[in-house]
Amino acid sequence: MSEAPHGAPIKTPGQLIAAIIAGFAVPIVIIVLLAVYVDNSTRTGAGTDSLSEAEVTARIKPLAQVDIRDANAPRVYKSGEEVYKAVCSACHASGAAGAPKFTNTADWAPRIAQGFDTLWHTALSGKGAMPPRGGTSPDDYSDFEIARAVAYMANNSGGSFPEPAQPAAGAAAASGAAAAAPAGASDAGAAQAAAAMAAMASVPQAAAPAAAGTQSADASQAGKALYQQVCQACHAAGVLNAPKFGDKDAWAPRLKDPMDTVYNYALHGKGAMPPKGGSTASDADVKAAVDYMVSAVK
Ligand code: HEC
Ligand code: HEC
């Protein structure tokens, strides 16, 4: 038994362990470095793409953007499902704040029993924690679109309401209602309400944005246009005792009020007079329509 050859580098168990570890570690380090070297072509330092087109456009894009809508373009109505998903689902999907839950027939049965028109009008005017129109503005969702959302929700929750009819466009429908309504107007309260519903249902919702477009051009033109599209449904013939167009006696007592009060009645409703005549016109156009009606009795 001779001793380990003289000069052998490993003399103690500690050196042996160190040699074994180095034997594994060195190749691993080399492999890692090679791997890094091979794919370093795709690496760039942080921030080096900050002058790329996409990055620059993102940085200099305007903070606010104006969404220009063509007032004369035919209005494209959203489906009930679209309105529901965009607006109503915020509360009705989960039943937040005590909202009747989507597809929960037990929640909906007693409400559906009230009939479609009641539900629709509740959706428009609000009830308890339910904000009017689900918190949207009439410029974004017309009454018709809200009606579709109501039908969509109710029909997915045990109801079977027909799809709401699209509002007729143009003054023809409105004057048709004016002709038809007085028959009901002469009757008692229930018939009056029915006539009001008939008149309101035929108020063309699509007309309002179109009228808004003309507002900057000429306020009195816009007032006349809105009168013809909406207000004359009741005011031409005096439906539901609306003060008749051009009837000085009917208007005189009302015009004793300051004009702001008269405007407010037109904007927010009074008795059988629905807010804005049931339309979605802008405040300015409604005031212009009042001016147009008032100028006819001066
Ligand atoms: C901020 C929450 C919220 C949003 C958004 C919302 N709702 Fe509601 N909704 C409620 C609550 C709460 C009730 C229950 C009100 C009650 O019975 O007091 C309710 C009730 C209703 C009812 C039943 C009314 C009745 O007569 O019993 C209808 C219909 C309705 N909502 C339609 C809609 C439509 C359509 C939308 C979307 C355009 C909408 N809701 C968006 C909270 C909401
Ligand atoms: C559904 C029928 C109906 C429609 C549509 C309608 N009105 Fe009326 N309006 C009435 C009735 C009814 C009254 C009388 C209300 C009362 O005195 O109780 C009235 C009253 C008014 C008054 C007088 C308020 C006062 O000072 O006493 C103004 C102003 C008016 N309407 C403006 C308008 C304008 C503007 C429009 C169209 C944007 C319009 N109305 C559409 C039914 C209607």
Evaluate: CB of 276 within 6 angstroms of ligand 2: yes
Nearest CA, atom 22, ligand 2: 266
CA of 129 to the centre of ligand 1 (A): 8
Evaluate: CB of 279 within 6 angstroms of ligand 2: yes
Going from the C-alpha of 176 to that of each of 167, 232, 247, 269, the distances in angstroms are 13, 10, 21, 22
Q: Which atom of ligand 2 is nearest to the CA of 262?
A: 26
CA of 287 to the centre of ligand 1 (A): 31
Evaluate: CB of 265 within 6 angstroms of ligand 2: yes
Residue in 166, 212, 279, 205 with CA at minimum distance from that of residue 69: 212
In this predicted model, what pLDDT tens digit does every residue of 111-164 receive, in sequence order? 998 889 999 999 999 888 888 898 888 888 889 999 999 999 999 998 889 888
Rounded CA gap, 197 and 184, in Å?
A: 11
Nearest CA, atom 6, ligand 2: 277
CA of 150 to the centre of ligand 2 (A): 27
Evaluate: CB of 153 within 6 angstroms of ligand 2: no
CA of 125 to the centre of ligand 1 (A): 10
175 C-beta neighbours (distance < 10 Å), count: 17
Ligand nearest to the CA of 247: 2
Q: Which atom of ligand 2 is nearest to the CA of 230?
A: 37
In this predicted model, what pLDDT tens digit does every residue of 180-220 receive, in sequence order? 334 333 334 455 555 555 555 555 544 444 444 444 457 77
Sort residue 262 into left (φ over 0), alpha (ψ -120 to 50) or beta.
alpha
In this predicted model, what pLDDT tens digit does every residue of 76-122 receive, in sequence order? 888 999 999 998 988 899 887 789 999 999 999 989 988 899 999 99
The tokens describing 195, both together, are: 């006539």
Rounded CA gap, 45 and 133, in Å?
A: 51
Place of tokens 């306020």: 219
* Amino acid of residue 290: V
Binning pLDDT at 50, 70 and 90, where does residue 6 land?
Answer: low
From the number of C-beta atoms within 10 Å of its C-beta (0-12, 13-18, 19+), residue 9 rates as exposed
Residues contacting residue 169 through CB under 8 Å, at least 6 positions apart: 204, 206, 207
In this predicted model, what pLDDT tens digit does every residue of 37-49 receive, in sequence order? 887 666 666 667 7
Rounded CA gap, 111 and 174, in Å?
A: 31
∠ CA 200-278-130, nearest 5°, is 110
